Amino acid sequence: MSHLLDLSLCPPPGHRQAYERQAPKHEGLDKWVHRFNGAVLRTVQKVINPANISVEPILKSRAQLLKTGALEMHLQTIRYRLRNEGLTRSAVVQALALVDIACAQSLQKEAYHTQFKGAWALLSGRVAEMATGEGKSLTAALAVSVAAMAGLKVHVVTVNDYLAQRDAEYFKPLYDLLGLSVAGLEHEFDLQQRSTAYHSDILYCSNKELAFDYLKQKIKMGSDSLTAKRLSSGGTERGLMPGLYFAIVDEADSVMVDEARTPLIISAPENNTENQAMLQQALQLARDLERDTDFTIKERSVRLTDTGEQHLERLSDTRSWPWCLAALRAEMVEKALTALHVYHCGQEYIVQNETIQIVDEYTGRVLEGRSWEQGLHQLIELKEGLECSHQNKTIARISYQQLFRKYHFLSGMTGTGAEVRDEFWRIYDLPTSVIPTRKKVLRQFCGYRILAAATEKWEYLASQVERKSRLGQPVLIGVRSVKASEQVERVLNQRGLKAEVLNAVQAEREAEIIEQAGKSGVITIATNMAGRGTDIALDSQAKEAGGLHVIITELHDASRIDRQLYGRCARQGDPGSYEMILSLEDDLPQSRFKPWQMKLAMKTITLPFVGQFLLMKQFRQSQKRIEKINRQQRFQLFEQGLQRDQLLAFSGKSD
The three-state DSSP-derived secondary structure of 387-424 is CCCCEEEEEEEECHHHHHHCCCEEEEEECCCHHHHHHH
Q: Cβ distance 58 to 101 under 8 Å?
A: no
Q: What CATH number does the domain located at 272-389 have?
A: 3.90.1440.10
Contacts of 538 by beta carbon, 8 Å cutoff, 6+ apart: 474, 518, 519, 547, 548, 574
Q: Strand 575-583 vs strand 295-298: parallel, antiparallel, or unpaired? A: unpaired
Query: Structural domain boundaries of the chain?
Result: 28-263+400-434, 272-389, 442-629
Mark 174-202 as b/e (b = at least 16 C-beta within 10 Å).
bbebbebebbbbbeebeeeebbebbbbbb
Let me know the angle formed at the C-alpha of 292 by 296 and 320, rounded to the nearest 5 degrees. Answer: 70
Q: What is the mean pLDDT of residues 513-527?
A: 88
Q: pTM of the prediction?
A: 0.83
CATH topology match: 272-389 vs 442-629 = no
pLDDT tops 90 at residue 92: yes
Query: Could you read off the pLDDT of 79-91 as tens digits, one per residue?
Result: 999 999 999 999 9
Q: Cβ distance 131 to 150 under 8 Å?
A: no
Query: Could you read off the pLDDT of 33-71 as tens digits, one per residue?
Result: 888 888 888 888 777 778 788 899 999 999 999 888 778
pLDDT bucket at 236, cuts 50 / 70 / 90: very low
Q: Which fold has domain 442-629?
A: Rossmann fold (3.40.50)
pLDDT for the residue numbered 89: 93
Top mean-pLDDT range of 117-126, 260-269, 297-306, 551-560: 117-126
pLDDT for the residue numbered 234: 44
pLDDT tops 70 at residue 287: yes
Mark 386-408 as b/e (b = at least 16 C-beta within 10 Å).
eebeebbeeebbbbbbbbbbbbb
Gap between the Cα atoms of 216 and 377, Å rounded: 22
Query: Could you read off the pLDDT of 342-396 as tens digits, one per residue?
Result: 888 867 787 877 888 887 665 556 666 677 777 788 888 888 888 877 766 777 8
Percent of the chain at pLDDT > 70 equals 88
Q: Which one is predicted more confidently, 386 or 235?
A: 386
Mean pLDDT is lowest, of 334-348, 516-530, 636-650, for 636-650
Q: What CATH number does the domain located at 28-263+400-434 have?
A: 3.40.50.300
Q: What is the mean pLDDT of residues 525-546?
A: 79
| Pick from 116, 85, 86: nearest CA to 100 | 116
pLDDT for the residue numbered 532: 62
pLDDT bucket at 233, cuts 50 / 70 / 90: very low
pLDDT for the residue numbered 104: 93
Query: Could you read off the pLDDT of 166-200 as tens digits, one per residue?
Result: 999 999 999 999 999 999 998 888 889 999 999 99
Q: Supply the angle between the helices 113-123 and 89-106 in degrees, to the nearest 10.
A: 130
Sign, CA torsion 440/170/177/155:
positive
Q: Cβ distance 53 to 117 under 8 Å?
A: yes
pLDDT for the residue numbered 229: 55
pLDDT tops 60 at residue 16: no
Gap between the Cα atoms of 31 and 25, Å rounded: 8
Query: Could you read off the pLDDT of 312-330 as tens digits, one per residue?
Result: 888 877 667 777 777 888 8
